Structure 1
Amino acid sequence: MRRQNNLVTLFTAITAFFFGSFITKILNSVDKCPANRSGSKLEPHPDIFLVVLILSAPSNVEHRDAMRETWLRLGQPLQLPYYPEEQVYMPAYDQRGGHLQMEMVTQQATRLREFINWQEKLLQHPPPVTQRKIIVKHLFAIGTQQMPSNLRDQIQSEQKQHKDLLLLPHLHESYRNLTGKLLQAIEGVIQQYDFSYLIKVDDDTYVKLDHLLNELVSYDRKLLRKTMDYGSEPLPQLYWGYFNGRANIKTKGQWKEPNYVLGKNYITYALGGGYVLSRKLCEHVVNNSHLLSHYTSEDVSMGTWLAPLRNVYRWHDPRFDTAYMARKCQSYHLVLHKRTPQMMRDLYGGNLCAPEKNVMGANRLLEYYYDWTRTSDKCCDSLVV
């Protein structure tokens, strides 16, 4: 009997070994867009990799049409070669407090230089054309509460034609309601779609969607391959944009914040012209929306809501030109805020810095790397040169 039990045990061990080897081989050969994950176990791939959520004013139909005709078509299908995963930063937890380690300034500079070099190589030596079907869904969020009947008719006609409006019947459109609009829009997307990532932009933002999507795919693939390295620690959740930690609290004008009492500056946040969130972060703010304070600026609100979470990977990227006014146009920019419909068409036509003459000014904003090792008042002194 003992001999028989030993044989059974040996057979079980051999079977488990080969089965484990088989599963490992499958995982190592994965060549899809990895899905959103809540832990070390791999879950089924979602239907949508990226949701493009555009907060749009009801009357800005010209801006919406310009987006539909230009950058929302990029990357469908994706024809770029995979962005090299070795150039993708993957944050690790420190040994003391269990906090994610953000990129040093030197690492940010190296990453930008590597991207520029990669772009130049693509132009000089175009790779063979390949097509990858990465599913992207775009939605224009519009509040319809108390909307005039003539404008409502126009919106309904637009929806019938394009079927890409996320209508919010319980939201009255105003700047003071912008944070509520963001929350309601994300909640609607969460309820209706399964996705991995969401990029929030304004309707005057241009996104080089193919390059952004390509790099996001490489980041997600690398995260999948590195999942086991995090052990019992939660996987990093992406918050990707252009961060500011030294902005003074606004005391007048439409940005006035009468209830922000957490300090003399806003808590570090990604500027609102465009930022990317992983699904888990979207779920966090929606699930806790009844407890979260609403501030006037939606981007300030998002940064404040995510501040306590230790597994948030804040990826500061100079390629996001997302402030209240445009910086000097650079060919490496991925997200460009404050662009008119004509600027979008010029960019889409291949003239990468065509808007330059329209956004020049004496008060040009200087772009910087974010120094996470310094206090917030000195975070942004390392200029990109």
Structure 2
Amino acid sequence: MRRMNNLVTLFTAMIAFFFGSFITRILTSVDKCPTLKSGLAKLEPHPELFLVILVLTAPSNIDKRQIMRDTWLHLGQPLKYPYYPEDFVYVPNFDKNGHLIMETVAEQEYRLRIYLDWLDGVQTTHNKRVIKIKHFFAIGTEGLNNNVRLDLEKEQKTYKDLLLLPRLQDVYANLTEKMLHAIDALTHHYKFSYLLKVDDDTYVKLDYLLNELVTYDRKLIRKATEYHTQPLPELYWGYFNGRANIKMKGQWSETNYYLSNRYITYALGGGYVISRHLCEFIANNSKHLSTYVSEDISVGTWLAPLRHVYRRHDSRFDTGYMPRKCRRQHMVLHKRTPTLMQDLYNEKLCSFNVANEEQYRRPPEYYYDWKKPAEKCCDNIVL
């Protein structure tokens, strides 16, 4: 009888073991199921990338997508300039309280000056470098009419660069959800180091931006051992605003933004760069993040609590709601029409009529003072 009991016990244990293993495999496969939010089950495979370019675009904006393909998306493939000097790039350290030390106004001014000096003397090199990059135009496809859907399918067949999001209705009110779906899809399906987010009316001097980003990444890797037990800084590179009032009227009205009396510091939405680990943080927590009307204000708010985010303010990013005064150092330029993008690609200095520039009250560009309260962040004008 005892032997029979032992056999029954052993048999029961074996059944429990195999059943537990079966359940574990199911749960593991569910955990690894990609892009649960975006609904994308598959994307074209690609070798590991250094930079992914994410363009938020509307289904009907074919002309805007085409001019980007014909102009700046070609730049930097391959890189024709020598490495941007590592001494010119700032990589932050942590203070004694464990917070990253941001660039001072004087340091921002100095780095702009040496960049302009470098521009004056830079020449192309015969040793061109191939940096792996890939661009995507993100479009929501839920509820599209058949004609628009057929046009997109034809465009996708030709260019293979559309990120079609099946669970998203492509309307302005869903911009933040669109950002979440796109980051979720790209993070799960591709290995990359950095992501450049732009709108479809943004022109990027991609060769210059890519060259400097590669230098920053190389320098960060070289300094990695110096951080010891601290995490590596995670790049959030753009043109920051910390004194924007919360919109109460119009299409940007925020009825649920009650964290403060101003928007938490964020990079203006015409274009900015974030590291892969920040993309992973957003993707992995997408179900728990509050969404606001502006996708870029949302990103700034989501990343606010992380102490190892390097918010690099750069006056070369002209990424506001209207262009600033035209300057040759501008690297990312928002609010450009297809015609103006072609002008920039043809190496015209400015992308709007300089003769009429003074009639517009263009916002002055500033250095960001991280040592002052947010309402006084942006008083140091770039001369």
Provide the rounded CA distance (Å) in 1 between the counterparts of 2:353 and 2:361: 14
What letter is aligned with 1:298?
E
Larger radius of gyration between Structure 1 and Structure 2: 2
Correspondent of 2:362 among 347, 352, 364: 364
Q: Secondary structure at the match of 1:128?
A: coil
Q: Secondary structure at the match of 2:344?
A: helix
Q: State the Cα distance separating 1:363 from its structure 2 match.
A: 1.8
The answer to whether structure 1 residue 135 and structure 2 residue 132 are counterparts is yes
Q: Secondary structure at the match of 2:149?
A: helix
Provide the rounded CA distance (Å) in 1 between the counterparts of 2:125 and 2:321: 39
Paired position in structure 1 for 2:7? none
Paired position in structure 1 for 2:375? 377
Alignment RMSD (CA, Å): 1.1
Paired position in structure 2 for 1:300? 297
Paired position in structure 2 for 1:227? 224
After superposition, the Cα gap between the structure-2 partners of 1:85 and 1:359, relative to the gap in structure 1 and judged at 3 Å, is farther
Correspondent of 2:334 among 327, 334, 337: 337
Paired position in structure 1 for 2:114? 114
Provide the rounded CA distance (Å) in 1 between the counterparts of 2:119 and 2:175: 36
Paired position in structure 2 for 1:278? 275
Q: State the Cα distance separating 1:354 from its structure 2 match.
A: 3.7
Q: State the Cα distance separating 1:356 from its structure 2 match.
A: 3.8
Between stretches 175-184 and 46-55, larger displacement belongs to 46-55
For residues 178-327 of structure 1, the aligned pairs below 5 Å read 178-327=175-324
Q: State the Cα distance separating 1:130 from its structure 2 match.
A: 2.1
Count residues in correspondence.
336
Deviation digits for residues 212-250 of structure 1 (CA, Å, limit 9, x no counterpart) = 000000000000000000000000000000000000000
Q: State the Cα distance separating 1:357 from its structure 2 match.
A: 4.0
Provide the rounded CA distance (Å) in 1 between the counterparts of 2:360 and 2:331: 24
Quick check: 1:50–1:197 contact (8 Å CA) kept in 2?
Answer: yes
Quick check: 2:244–2:262 contact (8 Å CA) kept in 1?
Answer: yes
Paired position in structure 2 for 1:87? 88
Provide the rounded CA distance (Å) in 2 between the counterparts of 1:196 and 1:211: 17
Provide the rounded CA distance (Å) in 2 between the counterparts of 1:164 and 1:358: 38
For residues 345-360 of structure 1, the aligned pairs below 5 Å read 345-357=342-354, 360=357
Identity %: 59
Quick check: 1:346–1:355 contact (8 Å CA) kept in 2?
Answer: no
Paired position in structure 1 for 2:56? 55
Quick check: 1:242–1:320 contact (8 Å CA) kept in 2?
Answer: yes
Provide the rounded CA distance (Å) in 1 between the counterparts of 2:154 and 2:148: 10
Quick check: 2:336–2:351 contact (8 Å CA) kept in 1?
Answer: no
Correspondent of 1:167 among 151, 164, 168: 164
Structure 2 residues not aligned, in runs of 5+: 1-46
Q: Secondary structure at the match of 1:254?
A: coil
For residues 6-25 of structure 1, the aligned pairs below 5 Å read none
Q: State the Cα distance separating 1:148 from its structure 2 match.
A: 1.1
Q: Secondary structure at the match of 1:99?
A: coil
Paired position in structure 2 for 1:64? 65
After superposition, the Cα gap between the structure-2 partners of 1:72 and 1:358, relative to the gap in structure 1 and judged at 3 Å, is farther
Provide the rounded CA distance (Å) in 2 between the counterparts of 1:327 and 1:148: 38
Paired position in structure 2 for 1:155? 152
Paired position in structure 1 for 2:101? 101
Structure 1 residues not aligned, in runs of 5+: 1-45
Q: Secondary structure at the match of 2:296?
A: helix
What letter is aligned with 1:166?
L
Quick check: 2:316–2:331 contact (8 Å CA) kept in 1?
Answer: yes
Provide the rounded CA distance (Å) in 1 between the counterparts of 2:233 and 2:327: 30
Runs of 4+ in 1 over 6 A off after TM superposition: none
Q: Secondary structure at the match of 1:77?
A: coil
What letter is aligned with 1:266?
Y
Provide the rounded CA distance (Å) in 1 between the counterparts of 2:314 and 2:116: 13
Quick check: 1:326–1:359 contact (8 Å CA) kept in 2?
Answer: no
What letter is aligned with 2:374?
S
After superposition, the Cα gap between the structure-2 partners of 1:127 and 1:152, relative to the gap in structure 1 and judged at 3 Å, is closer
After superposition, the Cα gap between the structure-2 partners of 1:127 and 1:166, relative to the gap in structure 1 and judged at 3 Å, is closer
Quick check: 2:81–2:125 contact (8 Å CA) kept in 1?
Answer: no
Quick check: 2:236–2:312 contact (8 Å CA) kept in 1?
Answer: yes
Provide the rounded CA distance (Å) in 2 between the counterparts of 1:358 and 1:210: 29
Provide the rounded CA distance (Å) in 1 between the counterparts of 2:363 and 2:73: 27
TM-score by length of 2: 0.86
Q: Secondary structure at the match of 1:218?
A: helix
Quick check: 2:67–2:338 contact (8 Å CA) kept in 1?
Answer: yes
